[in-house]
Amino acid sequence: MLPTFHMEISSYAMTPAGSDIELPGTPSKCREKKQHWYCCCGIARLVVLGAVVALALVGCARLQRSSAAPSTADSGPSSSTSLETMLAYQAARFNPASLFCFSLMLPWGPERKLIQWQLTHEKSIFACNEWAVYSNATLELGGSVSTRVVHTNLECPIGGKWHTRLNTPIFIKLWKQVFQDGQFRLAAWTAKVDPDAVFVASRLRGVVATTALAKAQEGRGMFFDNCEYKQSLHGALEVLSRKALEVYGDESKDKCDARIMQEDVYLRSCLLYKLKVANFQGDWKILAEEYCYWDWKTCQNDHVAFHPFKTLEAYKECLTSAEEHSTAQLLL
């Protein structure tokens, strides 16, 4: 079975029934007709009877999920990319809060069960605009969804000063595969989410939509520090703007120090010091975990993610607490 490539057209490319919306910088209009989404897509070249070339409006094309990925050779889709993918790519340009989220799943242990539950209930990464699950083998997760393959050994030793996983080689290969696959180009932000992190996508959308991050796609991009106590980056949730990931994919092999064996330490050092990508700390609402925030176990605060919750029972309990907290805040 081929790995599933999930694509969802951003809400910026759609409009409520009976109304039109003009996308900035393009003559496109989208409207709903007969309960299906259609999109009038700009001006395109049509060849008539193989001889006459003229400029004309491309007819309305029904938006569907597609398995096509945009070209990674440049900053946008190639001329051979499907219409649906090109529309999604352009929609992402106008939606600063669109998310591509992915997880790396071990083929053994409890992570597969966690991922399958998240998929069934559209939680965690499956609540993002785009998503993918990686492993080192093709594994079915449910329905037509399966993992995408990154060719690496997922077993790694524990060591170093902090007695943590020496996992940098694994995640260098993972980020390389994500960059090559190119799905990240269909969203403004990319989030790597550990399977045992209780991640609330709607909260991350709220954070990245703020005016403080309005220039996240300019210059060399931006990434999030997430650990308040350490004033640093922890690997349970890593968030990069599209521009930052483009810079990383193009330049990290030549400029970054792969001898740093903890992947989150490596990634932060690479982005901040070697590639000169800006780091954003904000009000430290990205990650709540033992070494970053005191009240991480209750899950009753405004953080985007809580970590770790390795059993399905503990995961569901934390998620319920987080969602109840959100509901209570809305009622205040």
Does residue 5 form part of some domain? no
Q: Rounded to whole angstroms, how far apart are CA atoms 243 and 240?
A: 8
Domain end, chosen from 45, 62, 94, is at: 94
What's the confidence (pLDDT) of residue 113?
Answer: 98
In this structure, the answer to whether residues 210 and 262 fall within a common structural domain is yes
Q: Rounded to whole angstroms, how far apart are CA atoms 52 and 46?
A: 8
**Is residue 223 within 8 Å of residue 207, measured between CB atoms?**
no
In this structure, the answer to whether residues 233 and 137 fall within a common structural domain is yes
CATH number for the domain spanning 203: value is 3.90.550
**Confidence class of residue 14 from pLDDT cuts 50, 70 and 90?**
very low
What Rg value do the Cα atoms of the chain yield, rounded?
Answer: 21
The number of beta carbons lying within 10 Å of the beta carbon of residue 30 is: 23
In this structure, the answer to whether residues 189 and 316 fall within a common structural domain is yes
In this structure, the answer to whether residues 217 and 76 fall within a common structural domain is no
How many domains, the chain? 2
pLDDT in tens, 111-138: 999 999 999 999 999 999 999 999 999 9
**Is a pLDDT exceeding 90 seen at residue 105?**
yes
Residue with tokens 């594994």: 139
Q: Which residue segment(s) compose the domain that 279 sits in? A: 99-331
Does residue 310 form part of some domain? yes
What's the confidence (pLDDT) of residue 16?
Answer: 37
In this structure, the answer to whether residues 256 and 313 fall within a common structural domain is yes
pLDDT in tens, 263-300: 999 999 999 999 999 999 988 999 999 999 999 999 99
Computed over every residue of the chain, the mean pLDDT equals 80
pLDDT in tens, 19-62: 333 333 333 333 333 233 323 333 232 222 233 223 232 233 32
Does residue 116 form part of some domain? yes
